[in-house]
Structure 1
């Protein structure tokens, strides 16, 4: 194994050169949209006509729904149509770009997990703990019934292994193990810290988490994974976020 120091800015040529030598490239960077688009163009150009594999890590934020803390019954399987969240339009375009590259004699896949949790969690659970530090209460937005599908990080990594082993070129795979409304997360944190819970409006939410964080904490993003389970035989090992979750 030969490690290569990569960077999408200062060392992009070295990064693309290393990708060209690899059998498989997994793109899991958190880059800004313009940089992500440019990097994917370079990766696809480097791997085209090689028969090699490119896997793109996306997320269910592409069909996030702005529900202001209310419940939404909408949930999406891999092939279901949806209205793209405007802030994620570039990410959806990146997904489409990767999937279309399957026609260029390369193996491409997109993996779209729900809210990822587990060790080092930086998601909703940690944000509720942050609200306790800021306000003295475990907070949620509105009714707190907005719901994200979630999946443990270990189950996501197993999905990558299965996709690399037997995934279909040009396929999109979801990863979901369960669903937890934000209000339930707040109640779990309140039990842990011995404090109360409190619903906040979107203005106060922005004071606690910033504008983007407030948007995330007020929205719903629910998915299903029939293709992933059927084609890859993937089954999550961790489904109960409330029982297993520990303080970040």
Structure 2
């Protein structure tokens, strides 16, 4: 039968800002991702003890016409968006359509027991991600706000997740699944998404 696909997330692997990460690295989850990390451990035990054929897919920050990008665009347009902390941590982004294709390929070609990072080819520092959006919208750069202040308002776990670094390698998904993201960078995917959202550029 078909393998069991589990959707984890790359926040299970939060490493220092400039370090490249692949699937061979041990899990180092931030607080919001601990549940995923624990579930992966349980699934691995079921795999060993009961023969469950499991494939784990771990996308980076997924973007499309909704979700965090829609909220970011709206807040930037209203001049309410602030970059939390320095913005120097890496985000590995991936377009929602590329994630969908990866799931289809994983069912067809995925290796049971494997974990696949799903990310485009060009991780960007978080500050660069926001600058990319403001440039596309013709808006001035967003200001900054201290991490500790947002931590008091929204809680440390959320701030930790936003400021965690994800500089992911996507080599395994390309090699084993034959996956090739259509949007190789956030800069390339952003224009298409903004058009889909009906946002003037």
TM band (smaller chain): 0.7 to 0.9
Greater radius of gyration (CA): 1
Question: Aligned-pair distance for 1:55?
Answer: 0.7
Distance across 2 between alignment mates of 1:199 and 1:163: 39
Match of 1:187 among 131, 140, 144: 131
Paired residues of 1:99 and 1:171 also in contact (CA < 8 A): no
SS at match of 2:92: strand
Paired residues of 1:138 and 1:195 also in contact (CA < 8 A): no
Please provide the CA RMSD for this pair.
2.6
Asked if 1:93 corresponds to 2:38, the answer is yes
| Matching residue of 1:223 | 168
Distance across 1 between alignment mates of 2:186 and 2:32: 27
* Paired residues for 1:107-122 under 5 Å: 107-120=53-66, 122=67
Distance across 1 between alignment mates of 2:46 and 2:187: 39
Question: Aligned-pair distance for 1:148?
Answer: 1.1
Distance across 2 between alignment mates of 1:216 and 1:193: 28
The normalised TM-score by structure 1 is 0.66
Q: Which has the higher contact order (CA 8 A, sep 6+)?
A: 2
The normalised TM-score by structure 2 is 0.79
The gaps in structure 2 that reach 5 residues or longer are none
| Matching residue of 1:199 | 144
Question: Aligned-pair distance for 1:127?
Answer: 4.8
Distance across 2 between alignment mates of 1:199 and 1:186: 11
Which shifted more, 188-197 or 230-239? 188-197
Question: Aligned-pair distance for 1:74?
Answer: 1.7
Paired residues of 2:123 and 2:168 also in contact (CA < 8 A): no
The gaps in structure 1 that reach 5 residues or longer are 1-50
Match of 2:18 among 43, 66, 73: 73
Distance across 2 between alignment mates of 1:82 and 1:95: 10
